[in-house]
Amino acid sequence: MAVPSRRVTNDELAKTIDTSDEWIRSHTGIGARHIADKDTAASDLGLAAARKTLALAIERGAVGEKSPEELALTLDLIVVGTSTQDYYSHPATACLVQRALGAKNAAAMDITIACSSFIYGLETAAALLKADARRNRALVIGVDLLSRITNWEDRATCILFGDGAGAVLLEKTAAKTVPGGILRTILGADGSGWEYLILRRGGSRNPWKKGEVVEEVPAIAMDGRAVYNFAVKVITETIARIMEEENIALDDLALIVPHQANARIVQAAAKRLKIPEELFYLNIEEYANTSSASIPIALDELNRAGRLKKGDLIITVGFGAGLTYGGNLIRW
């Protein structure tokens, strides 16, 4: 994972907008967020997370290569989940990461479905590895700088978001030798909620016009209540479906790693599922909602803290603009 060093507390936000630490904590569980400086873009943070991932794989003896440069050359694919690409539309942020890593043999693509991008990206990478015997390794990065598309005068949205990146290295192994990996993924969408989380300006529907005086910042507009209700519903249904269809009992699960959007969403889903809240990993207090990055950041924290043991069964689950949702069942 990589997060910017600048940490903005709720109290600091309360100096510029009409809000309070008490309101933000009680309604969302958020205590702070990390905000990138003006010279940092998605590929920079994504690259930092990617470099640390390659270094960790070498340090832990998970790969035979001895240097990140050597390891980067073995990558067949780089997938970047992000909605805050360095450049509007193209080039893909994954191409910028590919160049900087020197991963000359890797294909590169972005997945742009807001907060569900990492879950979709993981399944896309796994499926592309399976699809060709010659593909063996993929790097999946989740990175977002939502601070760049946030209206900092809108207290209903700006308190929610932060910047960050996380990455994982996937390697295809023979199922018989390592009974692990991504065992099952559920992906879904409900386009009827397209307007509930939206960046209205700048696309082919509402392009910026020549000579236009830009009064409106290109910022996230959100129907918070509608997104909240959708989130609780799909998180509950996705976890229940994975457990039922894959025949998993509560005792089999080591952890559930949810997208970190609002602690209250997770608590409501836990209650509906009758799953103890402690089974859900939450770090939203420190990072707020980092969109595509929230799940890989959580995975890295858990991994480095020794809380993920080989063979552990975990579920990742998330949702986002679109509206989209999904979950991965992973044998660590």
Angle at 80 between CA 86 and CA 321, to 5 degrees: 85
Q: In sequence order, what E strands does the chain have? A: 7-9, 32-34, 77-81, 107-111, 137-145, 163-171, 181-189, 197-198, 221-222, 253-258, 313-320, 324-331
Q: Which one of residues 23, 58, 70, 136 is an interface residue with ligand COA (CB under 6 A)?
A: 23
Binding residues among 71-110 for ligand COA as defined by CB under 6 A: none
Q: Is 332 in the site for ligand COA (CB under 6 A)?
A: no
Ramachandran class of 148: left when φ > 0, alpha when ψ lies in -120 to 50, beta otherwise? alpha
Closest approach, Cβ 62 to ligand COA, in A, equals: 31
Please identify which of the residues 115, 158, 262, 328 carries the catalytic annotation. Answer: 115
Binding residues among 121-160 for ligand COA as defined by CB under 6 A: 155-156, 159-160
Q: Which one of residues 146, 243, 261, 308 is an interface residue with ligand COA (CB under 6 A)?
A: 261
* Contact between 257 and 119 (Cβ < 8 Å): no
Quick check: is 158 catalytic?
A: no
Q: Which one of residues 41, 54, 227, 330 is an interface residue with ligand COA (CB under 6 A)?
A: 227
Quick check: is 259 catalytic?
A: yes
Closest approach, Cβ 195 to ligand COA, in A, equals: 14
* Contact between 301 and 1 (Cβ < 8 Å): yes
Q: Is 233 in the site for ligand COA (CB under 6 A)?
A: no
Give the Cα separation of 149 and 82 in Å (integer). 12
Complex with ligand COA: residue 45 or 160, whichever CB lies closer: 160
* Contact between 274 and 250 (Cβ < 8 Å): no
Give the Cα separation of 46 and 69 in Å (integer). 16
Q: Is 28 in the site for ligand COA (CB under 6 A)?
A: yes
Residues engaged in binding ligand COA (CB under 6 A): 19, 23-24, 27-28, 115, 155-156, 159-160, 197, 222, 224-225, 227-228, 231, 261-262, 289, 320
Query: Active-site residue numbers?
Result: 115, 259, 289
